[in-house]
Amino acid sequence: MISSMEKSWIYILLLFIIALKYLTKQKRKLPPSPILTLPLVGHLHLLKFPLHRTYHNLSLKLGPIFSLRFGNRLMVVVSSPATVEECFTKNDIVLANRPRFVSGKYIGYNFTSVTVAPYGDHWRNLRRLTTAEIFSTVRLNAFQSIRADEVGHMLKSLACQGSSIVEIRPLLSALMLNNIMRMVAGKRYFGVEGAEDDEEAREFPEVLMEVFKHGGVANPGDFFPLLRWIGYMDFEKNLSRIMTKLDAFLQRLIEEHRSNNGGDTMIDHMLSLQESEPQNYTHSVIKSTILVTSLLQINLVMMLAGTDTSATTIEWAMSALLNHPDKMEKARKEIDRVIGTDRILNESDLPKLPYLQNIINETFRLFPATPMLVPHEAAADCKIAGYDIPRGTIVQVNAWAIHRDPHVWDDPESFKPERFEAAEPRAPQLLPFGMGRRSCPGNVLAQRIVGLTLGCLVQCFYWERVGEGLVDMIEGKVGVSIPKQVPLEANFTQSSHISIMEPTLLYILISLPILLIFLKLYNSRKKLPPTPFPTLPLLGHLHLLKFPLHRTFLSLSRKLGPVFSLRLGTRVMVVVSSPAAAEECFTTNDITLANRPRFIIGKYIGYNYTSLVGAPYGDYWRNLRRLTTVEIFSTARLNAFQSIRADEVRIMLQSLAHRGFSIVEIRPLLSVLTFNNIMRMVAGKRYFGVGEDDKEAEEFRGLIKEVFSYGGVSNLADFFPVLRWFDYKGVEKDLARIAATMDVSLQALIDEQRQHSDGNTMINHLLALQDSDPEYYTEEIIKCIIVMMLLVGTDTSSVTVEWAMSALLNHPDKMKKAREEIDRVIGNDRLLQESDLHNLPYLQNIISETLRLFPAAPLLVPHEASSDCKIAGYDVPRDTIVMVNAWAIQRDPSVWDDPETFKPERFEGRGIGAPNLLAFGMGRRACPGSGLAHRVVGLALGSLIQCFEWERVDERLVNLSEGKGASMPKNVPLEAKCRVSDVGRRVISV
Is 440 part of any known ligand binding site?
Answer: yes
Q: Count of H helices and E strands in the chain?
A: 37, 18
Report the 3 state secondary structure along 308-324: HHHHHHHHHHHHHHHHC
Torsion of CA 786, 791, 794, 796, to 10 degrees: -150
Distance (Å, whole) CA 235 – CA 223: 13
Phi-psi region of 470 (alpha: psi -120 to 50; beta: other; left: phi over 0): beta
Query: Cα(925)–Cα(976) distance, rounded to whole angstroms?
Result: 37
C-alpha closest to that of 95 among 400, 373, 332, 484: 373
Tell me how far apart the alpha carbons of residues 208 and 177 are, in angstroms, rounded to a whole number: 10
Give the whole-angstrom CA distance, residue 466 versus residue 688.
84
C-beta separation of 672 from 688 below 8 A: yes
User: CA-CA distance, 710 to 600, in Å (whole number)?
Assistant: 10
Helix (H) or strand (E) holding 853: helix 841-853
Determine the Cα–Cα distance for residues 571 and 577; give it in Å rounded to an integer. Answer: 19
H-state helical runs in 693-832: 694-709, 722-725, 731-754, 762-772, 779-790, 796-810, 812-826
Provide the 10 A C-beta neighbour count for residue 971: 12
DSSP structure string for 233-296: GGHHHHHHHHHHHHHHHHHHHHHHHHHT----SHHHHHHHHHHH-GGGGS-TTSS-TTTTHHHH
Beta strands in 300-386 (DSSP E): 376-377, 382-384
Q: Which residues contact 62 (CB under 8 A, 6 or more apart)?
A: 31, 32, 33, 34
Q: How remote is the C-alpha of 818 from its chain's centroid?
A: 48
The answer to whether the beta carbons of residues 678 and 794 sit under 8 Å apart is yes
Q: Diameter of the chain by CA atoms?
A: 113
End-to-end CA distance of the chain: 56
Measured at the CA of 48, the angle between CA 389 and CA 428, to 5 degrees, comes to 45
Three-state secondary structure readout of 412-431 = CCCCCHHHHCCCCCCCCCCC
Please answer whether residues 576 and 585 qualify as being in contact, where contact means their C-beta atoms are separated by less than 8 angstroms. Answer: yes
Residues 6+ apart with CB under 8 A from 241: none
Task: Report the SS3 class of residue 895.
Answer: coil
**CA dist., res. 446 & res. 454, Å (int):** 12
State the DSSP H helix or E strand holding residue 395, giving kind and residue range, or none if neither.
Answer: strand 394-397
Q: Is 940 helix (H, G, I), strand (E, B) or coil?
A: helix
CA distances (Å), 609 to each of 22, 253, 362, 633, 734, in order? 53, 22, 48, 21, 17
Nearest to 429 by CA among 453, 474, 397: 397
* 3 state DSSP class of 382: strand
Indicate the DSSP class of residue 32: P
Long-range pairs for 129-134: beta carbons < 8 A, 24 or more residues apart: 129/273, 129/280, 129/281, 129/294, 129/298, 130/298, 130/301, 130/441, 130/442, 131/441, 133/269, 133/270, 133/273, 134/266, 134/298, 134/302, 134/441
Binding-site entries for heme: 440
